[in-house]
Amino acid sequence: MTIATLLVSGPDRPGLVAALAQVLYGHGANILDADQHSDPEAGWFFQRIRFDQRELRTDSTSLRHAIAEVSERLGMTWRLESSTRRKKVAIFVSKYDHCLFDLLWRHRAGELECDVALVVSNHSDLGPVAAQFGIPFHVFPIAKETKAEEEEKELAMLAEHGVELVVLARYMQILSADLIAKFRGSIINIHHSFLPAFVGQRPYHRARERGVKLIGATAHYVTADLDEGPIIEQDVTRCSHRDTVDELVRKGRDLEKLVLARAVRLHLQDRILVYQNKTVVFD
């Protein structure tokens, strides 16, 4: 079965669902499932439609033109993805290995339907991990005086490999505005706190100082504002006054792995729409 996913968003008005369904039906597409959401405060509509293309009465180009025409008429943006096309992913890491191991294991097990093109790091420590999974590993040492030059090299390599999604798996560097702009909406970071609490560095230490009873992890899209991009996925676990910082770190790492993997999977499955620095995440 050749499945396609259509994602649309735009001003909410009567007849949107019917208009989109009619376009697909008119071209012979068999709709498998559809999910939609309306934000009454923003007056905005969102929909995700999955359909089988095997019995299309026209070619895919004609279908795209028809979707574009109705979307333009209704003032909507749209994106059409095919299940046969695997996205190419780059994983950025520093010295922490838990998220990298987890992503590569899940990829090997077939849980993440993508091609991991390369692992990028500012240190050489995790080269053996990437080697275990047969993934190319590249080191770009980042220093204040060389940051711009090294990021240019990274961008060239990402372009060479056709990378569409960058995953920051505990990459302990702040990306430049230029790199973020080139991968707008396609960089996922894992932050080791339940944002918006404890933005920035040493969140487990700050959580211990505040005596919190829950700690969390947050996966979000990266923007130029540190740790303030649209949130994709979060989770929490309980803690107490007995927990040391090391114990909070241990508990947190379990969350970081799970939350990041969920966020990456949601992105790969085209389940996310972004608006007003928020996300609509379809089940």
Active-site annotation holder among 102, 227, 243, 270: 227
Ordered per-residue pLDDT tens for the chain, 283 residues? 589 999 999 999 999 999 999 999 999 999 999 999 999 999 999 999 999 998 888 888 999 999 999 999 999 999 999 988 899 999 999 999 999 999 999 999 999 999 999 999 999 999 999 999 999 999 999 888 889 999 999 999 999 999 999 999 999 999 999 999 999 999 999 999 999 888 888 999 999 999 999 999 999 999 999 889 999 999 999 999 999 999 999 999 999 999 999 999 999 999 999 999 999 999 9
The per-residue pLDDT for 1 is 59
Superfamily of domain 3-82 in the CATH hierarchy: ACT domain (3.30.70.260)
Beta strand pairing call for 44-52 and 165-168: unpaired
Please indicate whether residue 227 is annotated as part of the active site: yes
Q: What is the structure's pLDDT at 120? A: 98
Calculate the dihedral angle through the C-alpha atoms of 66, 70, 76, 77, rounding to the nearest 10 degrees: 10
Q: What is the pLDDT of residue 106?
A: 98
pLDDT at residue 232 in the model: 98
Domain ranges of the chain: 3-82, 87-281
First to last CA, the chain: 21
pTM above 0.75, yes or no: yes
Domain 87-281, CATH homologous superfamily name and number: Formyl transferase, N-terminal domain (3.40.50.170)
